[in-house]
Amino acid sequence: MEITRTSPLSLAVIVGSNRQGRFGPVIADWFLSHAGRRTDFTVDVIDLADPGTDLPTALSHDPAPAVRERLAKVGGTLAAADAFVVITPEYNHSFPAAVKNLIDWHYTEWQAKPVGFVSYGGMSGGLRAVEQLRQVFAEMHAVTVRDTVSFHNAHGHFDEDGRHKDPTGPDGAAKTMLDQLAWWAHALRDAKAVHPYGG
């Protein structure tokens, strides 16, 4: 398929929490409702609680066939993406191990692409997890956008149906972040079409 300036951008949304009883799906559903309304993105979801995304913590240059199958599935989605959004909680001042594992199993799939963040947690709203992820993605030659969406004390902001009780601020933050992500994704996709990234 020919890619043009007006072709939709492929956005891969990574749901980073995989622990039992996680609040992540509430945050993910909220964000996906915003991303799904955009005409400049098509959206794929990688949920790290899905058994099909479960990767060994021991990296290998020669993974077992079952691991290769999972890598092919997830890696294909990452490779096809023009941009990423990581939805992450904060665990002990950092991000979940499953997110680091996903990042470490891949390399070129991240290169010269923008990454946005939706974070949640206690008083910090997951921002310490985001600051650490910025350093990791810089090493992967990815570009992280400045503005994020952050929910401090996230459980108290949503009703029992998963709707945000006071959506004006978060809705605006989501739009700003997605606008920045789209700008960078277009710019980098156009640049790579002229001159492949040499990282």
Dihedrals phi, psi of 15, to nearest 5 degrees: -90, 110
C-alpha of 194 from chain center: 26
Written in H, E and C, the secondary structure of 94-147 is ECCHHHHHHHHCCCHHHCCCEEEEEEEECCCCCHHHHHHHHHHHHHCCCEECCC
CA neighbor of 162 nearest in space, from 37, 32, 49: 32
Here the tokens at position 94 are 């950092």
pLDDT tens profile 50-96: 999 999 999 999 999 999 999 999 999 999 999 999 999 999 999 99
Residues 79-92 as b or e (16 or more Cβ within 10 Å = b):
eebbbbbbbbbbbe
pLDDT of residue 162: 87
Chain position carrying tokens 């974070």: 119
- Return the top range by mean pLDDT from 82-86, 119-123, 151-155: 82-86
pLDDT tens profile 92-111: 999 999 999 999 999 999 99
Element (H, E) at 24: helix 24-35
pTM: 0.94
Q: Which residue ranges form the domains of the chain, and what is each CATH number? A: 9-57+68-194 (3.40.50.360)
